[in-house]
A and B are shown apart, each in its own frame.
Chain A
């Protein structure tokens, strides 16, 4: 083992030690151990400290990962037992010692009766003792060192085993792929009926599911649907036309408030028909997109981002302030917003509303696809690639950028109106900056410019946190980290957009290219 390798292992161990300490400080250790315990089928009351075994599993997973990462420093070298042993042991030891130091400090402070929660809000006395395995400080610290080292070595050997078996895994996977391709996948691909059947199944599910899965899931999936709408809109602005807008919530707010003020009896006593109000809300949002867009069309990139962020904040502050109190009810918000009606029959149950949202989402996906594949979509693509070149090739950049902004805003208006109508309430705090950021994150995580990506992103970012309720308070933290990690390892998103194919037949290589009569004749 050379010096560099030791240094790398120690650095890897340090990073992992810091991660473990950070998890402990933000209370993630306790929460995640609880999740493991639930996953193992044991019950856990609210606010109860989970069992030791689940904590050991949690720490063990981190330790194994540590050893795995530390032992595989170079992709191209073949791992040897001695190398793996040394590296993983060093990494585990470093991480363990760091964690032990932390545990000693925190444990000693806790033993002296200092209430750590006044400074670090997650460090209750129970969680500190939990972190020390309910042992005394020294014993707990030593257990950390030992456990971390042992698990890191295990991780190292797992990495070794995975590398040894990589060839075999690869051949097995290839043979399975070949088999499935020959037997059925190859036949299914390119068969038009398959996609029809798939579409039919999805439609059937969309019709049946809202009836069967109850009010709670209708609520959750309704939120996901509204975020799909917002994502489709922002996808047009950011993903297709390449303008980073951080104040998307402004359009959402304009849609919601237009709808609210025209259907609620309270501030203005305008009780319009649901559909008329919906149309007006969408139009108002689209119009506001043009109005906001006109003066700032010249700005590009990060300036545009900050200015639109300013617009979003201005609208929220105005809605909350006292000047618009008579017009929009100020911080109290607008109540008693109308639900949808059809031919005199009101359908405001959760199932009906779910259908409405599904309808809106399907319509929006259809429209967005049509736009994306039309000449408008190509103009947007050109602008997002290089605005100057697009302009030089005859694309009216201003017109298409405004169009993108107003169409995207219209989607937000639709989403806002449906949101307000479903909750029968809208207030200034529904329209905080976080909405813009959520939508931006889902567009980016899904894949900029990709419609399936938007749907996937909305499910991942709005649906998953609903399932993992315990992790609610860590949602934004994970979002932030996810954005950074995404930009570093996969900036194109989970489901990247396919570029529209060039409609030019490519000359095959085998074709004979006629040679010029005289080679090199011209000088």
Chain B
């Protein structure tokens, strides 16, 4: 009797946990704002720095968004984290790299008779083919990944496909290392897309360079995102995908080949990741077999941030994460080494305070 009464006193009413959580969130927000104002008062950075940081955040955010869409599509249909998605992106990066290398080696004579590499003679075609190659090989690897590692496990307990995905991720990463070596490689860009050149903006007495590669990546990722949105919303395939995401059994009864739709989802998400991978190479230059790991985890963060299963959410989450990652350290006055910590902290905070993400998740079944 005594014990039960004591226990009653100790257990909090049902609502209080929620209230505590809200209070904690508000406190955290207040802390961040105070810290930001404190840093802003010191005015370490001028307007030019802020502009540069936000633009680079947007560019990285576009790539995160493309990868995050892949996570969201797969999660929406299979309720599993495709842990190897970052490695699919890595494969795409290598695909684009080899196309550029090959075109750089081929010599053609230019309009004025001088010897040029194919890469610089027909830059648009070369870039197009590089993206095509990267997207195709990533799409294929996504397809085979699903066939080999995930399809035999359909209907298994949920830890099983996740562990399989982790295994596939480790396998692909190490296969990449063994095949291409651990050293960092550099993308050879066509001269028109040289890294470091771009439009110069005069702001507050100093110049900000909007690099061509960055703007190109941003525009391309926007185009791809719009394309994907139209695909999902307007086409027959998109309608089938949405149907399978809502209810596999009913979709199958309506005459949809569920396995085929799942395969195609993997193909689409692989192609987007491949495009992001080629962009990553063109924009950042240096890469190696490990290139997909961090973007993969961060894109998953972005997908969770926007509400998993929700495609506009993934786009928004990617952009948001990119901007936070590049502006956050400056706003909070911490070291730029810690931007990864910032991304992970955001993931943890989102999952604690709002597990359904900014735009809410678009899952119909209860997620376990």
* A contact residues vs B (CB 8 Å cutoff): 22, 25-27, 119-122, 242, 244, 246, 295-296, 298-303, 305-307, 309-311, 313-314, 317-318, 321-323, 437, 440, 444, 473-474, 476-477, 479-484, 486-488, 491
Contact = CB atoms under 8 A, between A and B. Distances in A.
B340 A480 contact: no
Top 3 A-B pairs, shortest CB-CB distance: A483-B167, A480-B171, A121-B181
Nearest to A484: B167
A309 B162 contact: no
Interface in B338-361: 338, 340-341, 344-345, 347-348, 351-352, 355
Given A121-B180, A484-B164, 5 more contacts: A26-B179, A122-B178, A317-B338, A483-B166, A487-B153
B162 A295 contact: no
19 contacts: A119-B101, A119-B180, A121-B180, A296-B348, A301-B158, A301-B162, A305-B162, A307-B351, A310-B348, A313-B344, A317-B337, A317-B340, A474-B174, A476-B173, A477-B175, A480-B169, A481-B171, A487-B156, A488-B149
A26 B148 contact: no
Contacts of A25: 178-179
Given A444-B163, A479-B170, A300 B368 contact: yes
Contact of A317 (B159, B163, B341): B341
A314 B344 contact: yes
B161 interface: yes
Interface string B117-160: 00000000000000000000000000000001100110010111
A484 B341 contact: no
B159 A484 contact: no
Contact of A306 (B81, B169, B181, B352): B81
Contacts of A317: 337-338, 340-341
Contacts of A440: 163, 166
B170 A305 contact: no
B80 interface: yes
Contacts of B153: 487-488
A296 B181 contact: no
Nearest to B149: A484
Nearest to B337: A321
B98 interface: yes
B172 interface: yes
Contacts of A305: 81, 162
B282 interface: no
Nearest to A488: B152
Most buried by A among B149, B172, B301, B348: B348
A122 B179 CA distance: 7
Most buried by B among A323, A484, A491: A484
Interface residues of B, number: 50
Contacts of B335: 321-323
B297 interface: yes
A499 B139 CA distance: 42
B178 A477 contact: yes
A364 to B, nearest CB: 24
Contact of B168 (A302, A314, A484): A484
Interface of B: 80-81, 98, 101, 148-149, 152-153, 156, 158-164, 166-175, 178-183, 297, 300-301, 304, 334-335, 337-338, 340-341, 344-345, 347-348, 351-352, 355, 368
Contacts of A323: 334-335, 338
A299 B355 CA distance: 9
Contact of A487 (B160, B179, B341): B160
A107 to B, nearest CB: 18
A300 B98 CA distance: 41
Contacts of B80: 302
Contacts of B148: 484
B355 A480 contact: no
B93 to A, nearest CB: 14
Contacts of B355: 298-299, 303
A303 B158 contact: no
Nearest to B81: A302
A301 B170 contact: no
Nearest to A303: B351
A507 B304 CA distance: 52
Nearest to A295: B352
Contacts of A120: 179-180
Contacts of A301: 158-159, 162, 368
B340 A26 contact: no
A441 to B, nearest CB: 8
B169 A313 contact: no
A239 B192 CA distance: 55
Contact of A322 (B149, B337, B348): B337
A191 to B, nearest CB: 39
A482 B167 contact: yes
A496 to B, nearest CB: 14
B81 A480 contact: no
Contacts of A26: 175, 178-179
A356 B160 CA distance: 36
A298 B348 CA distance: 12
A480 B170 contact: yes
B83 to A, nearest CB: 9
Contacts of A307: 347-348, 351
A242 B355 CA distance: 20
B368 A27 contact: no
Contacts of B175: 22, 26, 477
Given A306-B81, A323-B335, A479 B167 contact: yes
A121 B304 CA distance: 37
A479 B172 CA distance: 11
B167 A491 contact: no
A481 B337 contact: no
B172 A480 contact: yes
B91 to A, nearest CB: 14
B144 to A, nearest CB: 10
Contacts of A246: 166
Contacts of B301: 306, 310
A103 B318 CA distance: 44
B152 A306 contact: no
A311 B348 CA distance: 8
Nearest to A475: B174
A300 B149 CA distance: 22
Most buried by B among A296, A298, A481, A483: A483
Nearest to B80: A302
Contacts of A314: 341, 344-345
Given A477-B171, A487-B164, A299 B341 contact: no
B170 A437 contact: yes
Nearest to A491: B160
A179 to B, nearest CB: 40
B174 A318 contact: no
B180 A309 contact: no
B178 A483 contact: no
Nearest to B167: A483
Most buried by A among B148, B160, B166, B304: B166
Nearest to B75: A302
A310 B149 CA distance: 24
A479 B163 CA distance: 12
Nearest to B164: A487
A317 B334 CA distance: 14
Contact of B174 (A22, A296, A480): A480
Most buried by B among A244, A246, A480: A480
Contacts of A310: 297, 301, 344-345, 347-348
B297 to A, nearest CB: 7
